[in-house]
Amino acid sequence: SNNTIALDVNVTELKNKSPERVLYIGNSYLYYNDSLHNHVRRMLEEEYSKEIDTTNYKMVTISGSRLPHHIYEYPLNHKNLGAEEPFELVILQGGSGEANTISERKDFSLKAKEMIEKIHEAEAEAALYMIHAYVEPHEKTNPQMIIDIEDMYIKAANENKILVMPVGIAFENAYKKKPNFNLHKDYDGTHPNLFGTYLASCIVFSSITQKSPLLIEYDYFGKINSEDKNFLQNVAHETIEDFYGVEL
């Protein structure tokens, strides 16, 4: 069990566990490594046994952005993005320094509430993508960061009665098991590398479907070998069970 979790999550599942019309809003943490939304889509397609129409499956990112930087009402109107039907799920990912101070956490909380209300008005479900913490060589690496991130994301999710996806916790759990298995770009200690993106994709997949990531055959067209894939899927599986208190 993960001893860093300070709060229990109130929402442990989406109402719709097979959404195909999904909007991701975030920054480079999503678009690095050929884009998290593509990896998740391929995992979902495998689970659904059919192709997802990419017309209604979109990602909107701004480099270096935090929640307050997003002009989200425009993409939320699906027609503005060339989508034929309204989105069923909108996933929000905040900025990396956003949990650092009390005032910044308050800004996140206020903006999350505003965005989630608008998402619900558009008749979509909302979910928060809990980011990961920095590691060396990032100069702001510190053990408090993930605690502040967890606290901020779980509180916002609970206050707004929505799901939070425990990506950051999965990174912590992976590093506890294999400290030398890198999930970050080694040159900056902030952006995910391909393994980090794959782990995050497994977490998003399982958070949406409540299915175990151990069932996923997708390995990014052979780019991730079976040993690494199994390790990352196992970490995701255990993290999801532990975080939501479910059995997959």
* Structure confidence by residue, pLDDT tens digits, 186-206: 999 999 999 999 999 999 999
Residues 6 or more apart in contact with residue 114 via CB below 8 angstroms: none
pTM for the model stands at: 0.97
pLDDT value, residue 6: 55
For 234, left (φ over 0), alpha (ψ -120 to 50), or beta? alpha
| Side-chain-facing half-sphere of 145: CA atoms under 13 Å | 21
Q: Which two tokens stand for residue 165?
A: 């996806």
What phi and psi values does residue 165 have, to the nearest 5 degrees? -100, 120
What's the per-residue H, E or C state across 100-164?
CCHHHHHHHHHHHHHHHHHHHHCCCEEEEECCCCCCCCCCCCCCHHHHHHHHHHHHHHHHCCCEE
Taking alpha carbons only, the member of 242, 65, 113, 232 closest to residue 166 is 242
pLDDT of residue 1: 38
- Kindly list the averaged pLDDT for each block of 10 residues, start to end, along the chain of length 248: 64 98 98 98 98 98 97 96 97 96 96 98 98 98 96 97 98 98 98 98 98 98 98 98 96
The string of pLDDT tens digits covering residues 201-224 is 999 999 999 999 999 999 999 999
